[in-house]
Structure 1
């Protein structure tokens, strides 16, 4: 995570100092990061382990609808924007969105989130999402305005928490990569890759999305945490019975997960415009 952030910051700062075009710097940096990620996953044969595998249950796709919700309000404008830009700019938007979505999700919802799991799912989700949000501060090094960048940090942190919670629940990474790419592409098509001002509406919309994503993440993690405790209690009960220990009658009752969206526990922004 530190190396990732330092590389992005160094490339962004160098591009700004040399007077390079921001689009060239962004695309070049994200291309290098994506190539490094691909080579690392291939060398360690970690594609499946990091979350590029089928869902255990395709019904779990319903868990992702909240994460994709930001697409709905801007979809008409995004489609209109994508059909009016030139071929070169369209190719740039698509390639940048794919590179950013892939590299950032592998690093933050894959590597960072997994590495923090030994300390618990809550710290892992909080720290990885906070790191993801703070990464966007490097945009200031490239000359981005501070106000929209800070708003982006808040939004990306909240989105990252929601992404982390659902990834922990399913153990699969590719759906959030797809959502990240589509959200970024829609943002690029409607507002471009840079913003210079913030309106009251921007603040209000960001606040609503932040509350929604964090709230959804809390719900998913609480149910995942409760299911994990129930599973541990069941194992403890079975072990006690195997030893012939006295077990309270009530503990013999099997506990069924709730009918909510996360019945079978498992594990694993947009990110606003600019550097999602």
Structure 2
């Protein structure tokens, strides 16, 4: 979908770096306020995320509808994804299988439903912000800048877990892991310009993590997943060409 003249003259396009700063700052402010409210109300982690992410989701829906940006941010029919690009999404399934090998807890149906709704909300919000708004805005600067910026900000946001008392080793692994996932998903967005598979992966990835056993440290499965993501990133980088990049910027 080609940009209209109004989109070309928008703040989103004319001041991409400032736009990204505003988006990230607003996100952090809302999450911080939500966390403070959750602390005061003595809510658990999931409830705290609901308090923070629900208003963000509503703001995103209103903004994207008002600015008519759903299509330009990748909310398009799955039929727009070519067979070749579907093949490039397949390693995501390998990552999901790897982390699922850790096993699952014996949870009640109500708890599973709670995790499903919670992880779907997070998947929608984070993908729309990082692989939607931030990535697409930074594509006006360049593909490298877009991929690096969106991935780093995604990783930095997850680095906030360090404040929660998590040990340094686990936090470093989580930051590297989220950075690699950010790179992979950003590159897939550049290739295909469709955000739905990314939201689905993000949702399923987080759901598997929450349904699995409580983390007690870095496992072999975590290392395998990291290796897969490194190789995956290299393959995706090498797969990009001028035509693919030009198409992602115009979309």
Query: Normalising by the residue count of structure 2, what TM-score does the alignment of the two structures yield?
Result: 0.78
Q: What CA distance in whole angstroms lies between the structure 2 residues aligned with 1:14 and 1:140?
A: 20
SS in 1 for 2:80: coil
Q: What CA distance in whole angstroms lies between the structure 1 residues aligned with 2:237 and 2:179?
A: 14
SS in 1 for 2:140: helix
Contact 1:12 1:25 in 2 (8 A): yes
Structure 1 residue 41 corresponds to structure 2 residue 60: no
Q: What CA distance in whole angstroms lies between the structure 2 residues aligned with 1:98 and 1:57?
A: 22
Q: What CA distance in whole angstroms lies between the structure 2 residues aligned with 1:224 and 1:164?
A: 15
Q: What CA distance in whole angstroms lies between the structure 1 residues aligned with 2:31 and 2:171?
A: 15
SS in 2 for 1:137: helix
Unaligned runs of 5+ in 1: 232-264, 269-276
Match of 2:80 in 1: 56
Moved over 6 A (4+): none
Q: What CA distance in whole angstroms lies between the structure 1 residues aligned with 2:48 and 2:218?
A: 28
Deviation at 1:212, TM superposition (A): 2.5
Q: Matches of residues 102-117 of structure 1 in structure 2 within 5 Å?
A: 102-117=124-139
Q: Matches of residues 1-276 of structure 1 in structure 2 within 5 Å?
A: 1-16=24-39, 19-54=42-77, 55-59=79-83, 60-75=85-100, 81=105, 84-192=106-214, 195=215, 197-199=216-218, 201=220, 204-205=223-224, 207-220=226-239, 223-225=240-242, 227=243, 265-267=247-249
Deviation at 1:147, TM superposition (A): 3.3
Deviation at 1:211, TM superposition (A): 1.5
Contact 1:12 1:139 in 2 (8 A): no
Contact 1:97 1:184 in 2 (8 A): yes
Contact 1:12 1:138 in 2 (8 A): no
CA RMSD in angstroms comes to 2.6
Contact 1:68 1:183 in 2 (8 A): no
Q: What CA distance in whole angstroms lies between the structure 2 residues aligned with 1:57 and 1:95?
A: 26
**Per-residue displacement from partner, 1:47-82 (whole Å, max 9, x unpaired)?**
11211112434413222112332112244666x54x
Unaligned runs of 5+ in 2: 1-23
Q: What CA distance in whole angstroms lies between the structure 1 residues aligned with 2:91 and 2:59?
A: 31
Q: What CA distance in whole angstroms lies between the structure 1 residues aligned with 2:92 and 2:219?
A: 23
**Per-residue displacement from partner, 1:155-182 (whole Å, max 9, x unpaired)?**
1111111111111111111111111111
